[in-house]
Amino acid sequence: MREALILHALVAPGFFQSAAVRTALLMGAIVAVANGLVGIFVVIRGQAFLGHALSDVGAAGGAGAALVGVQVLWGFLAGGFVSGALADAGLSESRGRDVATGIVLATALGFGALFLYLITTTTSNANITQTVLFGSIFTINPALLPSMGLLSLGTVALLTFIYRPLLYVSVIPEVARARGIPLRLINLLYLVVVVAAVEQAALMVGALLSTALIVGPAAIAVRLTSRPGLRLGVAAVVGVAATSLGILLAYDSFYWPPAGRGWPDSFFISTLILLGYLAVTLRTRHDRRTLPGDRSSTP
């Protein structure tokens, strides 16, 4: 009886019976796994800014697609791939890549603002700004589920194919060069999987918050373990857990006062990831201070 009351308090009525919720949970899990796996390399390569830039630039593509009546997902992907190619073209040094990424980002944000302005002033699609910038997994067209599934599967498959050489390139590039690994090709394929993962997350939680899914779970996994294979699994599990719980809280919030409004799922997902990262960071620091022989642990 007590367990039933607790479950009723945590899960609002109709949660598992809702088709929109089931679609959101499945789509969220698919996207979270792809972002968690790809995010490990984004974190260990120190390229969180690149993930953020690709999502913001993808917003311009999404807004442009909505303006001409095309599915927003394809606009996100087109914008991400174009911006990624422009930022990476001919650049080998990280400093030059950061400058190019910043320039592309600023230009794309300008175009995104223009497209959103044209949509809101010339059409009746007043919700497009919310959809592009902040997302809403409950309103994604269920017909997109097969496309999202195939896209995520392709992303994971490509990452699996380049996993070992990409690990060398990311951690010990000198050894990668000595082994004859084609750095340019591996970096290009890596960029493809990053764009695919980031833009899927942008459709789900919005361009402004999609970085949380590709960086947050991976950062937590990197804090928890140093084993590369285990990091991938932890990042995927954390991403799916945060996404699923975020969807549950967003659904429950419709019953919070004032009832009938609800809070965005993107807020809950990003907040849960932040809280998880803070908890892991505090625990890691505490463990370091209390290690045997650590001077800080002695009176």
More confident: 38 or 65: 38
pLDDT of residue 232: 94
* Count of beta carbons in the 10 Å neighbourhood of residue 267: 17
Q: What are the structural domain ranges in the chain?
A: 22-275
Residue 145 contacts residue 186 (beta carbons within 8 Å): no
Of 287, 244, 289, nearest to 268 by C-alpha is 244
CATH superfamily of 22-275: ABC transporter involved in vitamin B12 uptake, BtuC (1.10.3470.10)
- What are 100-157's pLDDT values in tens digits? 667 777 787 888 888 888 888 877 776 777 777 777 788 788 888 888 899 999 999 9
| The residue to which tokens 């969807």 are assigned | 247
Residue 253 contacts residue 262 (beta carbons within 8 Å): yes
Of 156, 134, 133, 131, nearest to 144 by C-alpha is 131
Mean pLDDT of 221-247: 93
| pTM for the whole structure | 0.81
* Count of beta carbons in the 10 Å neighbourhood of residue 153: 13
- What are 78-96's pLDDT values in tens digits? 888 877 776 665 444 455 5
- What are 239-274's pLDDT values in tens digits? 999 999 999 998 888 888 776 677 888 889 999 999
d(C-alpha 32, C-alpha 28), whole Å: 6
Burial class of residue 28, CB neighbours in 10 A (0-12, 13-18, 19+): buried
